[in-house]
Chains A and B, each alone.
Chain A
Amino acid sequence: MKVLSSFREGRLTLYLKGELDHHEAAAALRHITRTLDDYLPRDCVIDLGELTFMDSSGIALILKICRLMSETGGRAWVENAAKQPLKVIDASGIDRMIKVVTTKASL
């Protein structure tokens, strides 16, 4: 998988692309932690628009990003998840703890 990012007016958007599993998660987290440390954003959007697969390793990664953001007084949420990642998010119940924004286009 790949993580791209863009920063604008205090908001960092992380674009997760490809397949997110346990094999990919550690490197992704290292990269994301560095990026958050660099920008210290107020908001962090986790954009899953081009994530084609995710399992519960992705749930742990999303929760970790939210925790890192709250440590610096910021917020994180999920946007644009396609069907498979969204179903994993729903089954895990984390949508009760963090904001998950779904657009029509992703469904």
Chain B
Amino acid sequence: MKQLNYIKLDFPARSANEGFARAAAAAFAAQLDPTMEELGDIRTAVSEAVTNAIVHAYPDTLGDVHMRLRILEGNVLEIVVRDKGRGIPDVARAMEPMYTTGGEERSGMGFTIMGSFMDGLRVRSAVGRGTTVTMSKRISAKVRA
């Protein structure tokens, strides 16, 4: 699919950047004229993916999180969140609802929410090398007078 616009953001895996990542994604997505609900879905999915990179990817170091957003032909927003952290040994298992290796402060619902709020969700991971989460969402066309 043809790429019409993109942004790239790199930031350290600090939790203070979660809010920034959501806000940046929402500001970029605004050019697709999303509804309030679609914008909420995008903010939520970005928050989940970026939080995972911050919470799970780098247990002992402070690594970087890479985020790329693209606008593709057909009013499609694609979001890629990538880390070079510890990776996920069993991706299918990690994506099951309520599965978490985090403590009580995690719910294990992150991937479930990403999957239900976006149209597409693909997770690729290699142990010791990192994780790439690719999500896409078609933004509804608005009728104009």
On A, residues with C-beta under 8 Å from B are: 19, 21-23, 25-26, 29, 53, 55-57, 59-61, 63-64, 83-84, 87-88, 91-93
Contact = CB atoms under 8 A, between A and B. Distances in A.
Quick one: which of A53, A55, A88, A93 has the most chain B CB within 10 A?
A: A55
Contacts of B54: 22
Contacts of A83: 36-37, 40
A83 B44 CA distance: 12
13 contacts: A19-B19, A21-B15, A21-B51, A22-B51, A22-B55, A26-B105, A53-B22, A57-B51, A60-B104, A64-B104, A84-B40, A87-B44, A91-B113
A23 B113 contact: no
Contact of B109 (A29, A84, A91): A91
Given A56-B48, A91-B109, 16 more contacts: A19-B19, A22-B15, A22-B54, A23-B15, A56-B51, A56-B107, A57-B105, A59-B107, A61-B105, A64-B104, A83-B36, A84-B43, A87-B117, A88-B113, A91-B112, A92-B109
Contacts of A53: 22, 40, 43-44, 47
A60 B106 contact: yes
Interface residues of B, number: 28
B16 interface: yes
B113 A22 contact: no
Contacts, number: 76
B112 A92 contact: yes
B105 A87 contact: no
Contacts of A59: 107, 109
A84 B44 CA distance: 8
B107 A57 contact: yes
B120 interface: no
The 5 A-B residue pairs with the shortest CB-CB distance, nearest first, are A23-B15, A84-B40, A60-B107, A59-B107, A55-B47
Contacts of B97: 93
A62 B109 CA distance: 13
Contacts of A23: 15-16, 18-19
Interface in B49-97: 51, 54-55, 97
B47 A21 contact: yes
Contacts of B107: 56-57, 59-60, 63, 92
